Amino acid sequence: MARGNFGEGAMTNTDPSVHRGAGRPTREQAEARHQELLDGALDLFLEHGYELATIEMIAARVHMTKRTVYARHPDKASLFHAATQRAIERQVVPDDALADADKGDLAETLETIARLRIRQVMTPNGVRLQRIINTESYRFPELFASNYRQSAKPVIDFVAGLFDRAVIAGHIAPTDSDLAARAFLSLVVGGWVRAIVAGREPTPAELDEQVHFTVGLLLNGLRAR
């Protein structure tokens, strides 16, 4: 769509984000409106697919003019990348949360991390992100890679460190700690991710039971013999 033809909305200041309160919006207000834009865009990309979602639809959803949207993002692909990047960033487990999860006991720590990751996926943002990855990563293959690098890899690295310490302490047999950490995320977390995205959320009892069982299964395979 040509950016030079924005229609009447580009010629008059009809964007509600410009007229909220007296004077120009503050930096905080402008940033809040931008986050609304990214969230609204992600919703529409999910509802209609990337191909059918338009800038006009997105602008209308968040009560902005096309001119305001284009001022921040030169095209639809740029807006898609920004919207998915925001969703990825909201799924990153903070370093201090991982540190707090370390209970000193390997099994307890792994169970805590598993519940943390699964509950992240159960949030509206987590479900939206997984669904957009499932539907659009063929078009944007870097989306899967970015989510892995920013969200999953730090958890894998942390868990690999736990396994390294457990090997040194003699609690588990010598192993490829990175491979074991990726197996942990796939075995303990991956199954529930697929179910949650499909609309099947676990009950607290189901979550506790399966996490406890799969962590025990994994550690039994890794234990020193």
Is 98 in the same domain as 77? no
Helix (H, G, I), strand (E, B) or coil at 106: helix
Q: Are residues 127 and 62 in the same domain?
A: no
Q: Which CATH number belongs to the domain containing residue 50 in this structure?
A: 1.10.10.60
Residue 23 binned pLDDT confidence (cut-offs 50, 70, 90): low
Domain end point (choices 37, 62, 88): 88
8 A C-beta contact, residue 142 and residue 80: no
**CA 182 to chain CA centroid, nearest Å:** 18
- pLDDT value of position 160: 97
Q: Looking at the domain assignment, is residue 5 inside a domain?
A: no
Domain span at residue 143?
93-222
Sign of the CA dihedral running 187, 191, 194, 196 = negative
Distance of CA 87 to the CA centre of its chain: 5
CA distances from 84 to 2, 151, 172, 192 (A): 24, 12, 38, 22
Residues 125, 197: one domain? yes
Q: Which of 49, 65, 88 is the last residue of a domain?
A: 88
Mean pLDDT over 70-98 rounds to 94
CATH number at residue 215: 1.10.357.10
Domain boundary among 62, 88, 114: 88
pLDDT for 193 equals 86
Based on the structure, what is the number of domains in the chain?
Answer: 2
- In a shared domain, residues 26 and 130: no
User: Could you tell me if residue 1 is inside a domain?
Assistant: no
In a domain, 61, yes or no: yes
What percent of the chain stands above pLDDT 70? 90
At residue 18, what is the residue type? V
Say if 8 falls within a structural domain. Answer: no
% of the chain beyond a pLDDT of 90 = 77
Answer yes or no: is 9 within a domain. Answer: no
Q: Give residue-wise pLDDT tens across range 183-192.
A: 999 999 888 8
